[in-house]
Structure 1
Amino acid sequence: MLSNLVSIFALCLICFLFWQQRRQAEVAKAAIAHKCKQLELQLVSVALGRHRLKDENGRWYWNTSYQFEFSSLGDDCYQGTLIMKGFRPLKFQLPPHRV
């Protein structure tokens, strides 16, 4: 009986974490699309980079990096990175590109 309860709790926890990761991915994609529109760039694709539990200062927090490809003139392709802290975009890293 207790093992069933633990199994149900573990399944609920996994579903909750999956749901939160999907929600974060939607927020990240919207932030990347907004940044590309602001800089007049064409967004090509967005992909999940990796999850980390600590930030660069050693504090415990859910950090996720997203890789995205963009084009400035339509015939080139560059790769940028977005660091998300929870559900907030923390830092964009864009390489130098043609304007």
Structure 2
Amino acid sequence: MAKKNEFSYNRDDNDSTRANKLLKRAVLLFIISAILVAISHFFLIKKKEDLVSKTPILKENKEKLTKELGEINDQIKYTEDGNKKTQEIIKKYNK
């Protein structure tokens, strides 16, 4: 019996000082999290405004690049067709 009582401890779940400490910690953590949420919210809103302001410029650049790409593709097709025609003429006269 002596060993059994040796490891027992006093547990008081209704201790008001412990509850007050936990309440203070909870309130402090809530305030800190609210501040962090507010800061991140304003930071993200600013980033969104920056991205939205850049969107028309990016659309214009995309349109210009697609036009240039289309022109380059047309030139490549034209040269490929020309190469095929010259190869056919060479084969025709090599016989």
Specify the TM-score bucket, using the shorter chain as the normaliser: 0.3 to 0.5
The structure with the largest helix share of the pair is 2
What is the TM-score of this pair, normalised by structure 1?
0.39
Structure number, greater radius of gyration: 2
What is the TM-score of this pair, normalised by structure 2?
0.40
